[in-house]
């Protein structure tokens, strides 16, 4: 459902130096599983998801999402994904209901389908109590619930979730993780970026450790422990990252 082949994204910093944000990444994600992108801030996780969602164009390599090439058929890619990012904002002067109606129209949903999916999402994510309040007046957790509802409104087969629990309280975080588990159970393909080890252990069927724009290790939690000889995912992650830093030095 999602595959990248030597995918690259290079930027120029203010001094003109090339920054290799994503450099030769090869991953494969299939339906009915959660694929984790595990890395520190600045590792390249968000850039990779932005490439796959066609927000930015690659410098090199290629990728397909739901059978569509991200460079040659970006519109088809966008029709098949839901993308939740830490930088995805809500329109402050709209209410949650108005937000969902707006995005439903963008997705080309019929009025009947939109109404059904909107009411499902409002109940699913506990939005009904503040559905008519301006988004500017919502708490961080309430805004995230609306953002997730917007992401899943059109029932896409592929989900890109970039640190979806960032800044949330424990109760809301649990709601988000339960939702991800439900999406896996109905066969969706989920790419999930995080740097919280407990989330990765709970949710991820397969993990890609990304550091300095490159994949430094991959496998199930148990496979990563076996490969690194470490007793926990946290220590396995640190081993892979610190080994990579040593190589770069």
Stretch 95-111: mean pLDDT, rounded? 95
Q: Is the pLDDT of residue 103 over 90?
A: yes
Report pLDDT digits (tens) over 178-235.
999 999 999 999 999 988 899 999 999 999 999 999 999 999 999 999 999 999 999 9
The answer to whether domain 2-80+158-248 has CATH 1.10.10.10 is no
Across the beta sheet with 206-211, the strand order is 81-84, 158-162, 189-194, 33-38, 206-211, 214-219
Per domain, the residue ranges of the chain are: 2-80+158-248, 89-155
User: Which pLDDT value is given to residue 249?
Assistant: 41
DSSP, collapsed to helix, strand or coil, labels residue 153 as coil
Report pLDDT digits (tens) over 107-146.
999 999 999 999 999 998 899 999 999 999 999 889 989 9
Of 48-57, 141-150, 152-161, 202-211, which range is least confident? Answer: 141-150
Question: Between the ranges 85-99, 106-120, 155-169, 170-184, where is the mean pLDDT highest?
Answer: 106-120
**Which whole-number Å values give the CA distances from 75 to 54, 57, 81, 111, 185, in the listed order?**
9, 13, 10, 22, 27
To the nearest whole number, what is the mean pLDDT of the chain? 93
Residue 55 and residue 47 in contact, taking contact as beta carbons nearer than 8 Å:
no
pTM over 0.85: yes
Q: If pLDDT is split at 50, 70 and 90, which confidence band does 34 have?
A: very high
User: Which pLDDT value is given to residue 247?
Assistant: 56
């Amino acid at each position: 459902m999602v595959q990248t082949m030597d995918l690259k994204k290079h930027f120029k910093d203010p001094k003109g130096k090339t920054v290799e944000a994503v450099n030769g990444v090869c991953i494969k994600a299939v339906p009915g599983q959660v694929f984790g992108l595990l890395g520190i801030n600045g590792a390249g996780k968000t850039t990779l998801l932005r490439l796959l969602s066609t927000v930015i164009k690659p410098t090199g390599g290629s990728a397909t999402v739901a059978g569509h090439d991200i460079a040659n058929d970006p519109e088809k890619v966008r029709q098949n994904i839901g993308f939740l990012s830490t930088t995805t904002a809500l329109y402050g002067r709209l209410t949650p209901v108005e937000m969902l109606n707006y995005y439903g129209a963008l997705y080309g949903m019929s009025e009947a389908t939109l109404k059904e999916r909107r009411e499902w999402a409002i109940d699913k994510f506990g939005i009904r109590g503040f559905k008519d309040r301006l988004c500017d007046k919502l708490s961080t957790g309430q805004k995230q619930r609306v953002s997730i509802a917007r992401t899943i409104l059109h029932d896409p087969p592929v989900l890109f979730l970039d640190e979806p629990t960032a800044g949330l309280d424990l109760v809301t975080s649990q709601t988000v993780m339960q939702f991800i588990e439900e999406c896996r159970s109905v066969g969706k393909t989920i790419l999930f970026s995080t740097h919280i080890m407990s989330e990765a252990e709970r949710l991820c069927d397969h993990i890609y450790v990304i550091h300095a724009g490159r994949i430094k290790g991959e496998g199930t939690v148990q496979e990563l422990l076996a490969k690194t000889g470490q007793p926990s995912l946290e220590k396995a992650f640190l081993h892979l990252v610190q080994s990579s830093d040593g190589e770069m030095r």
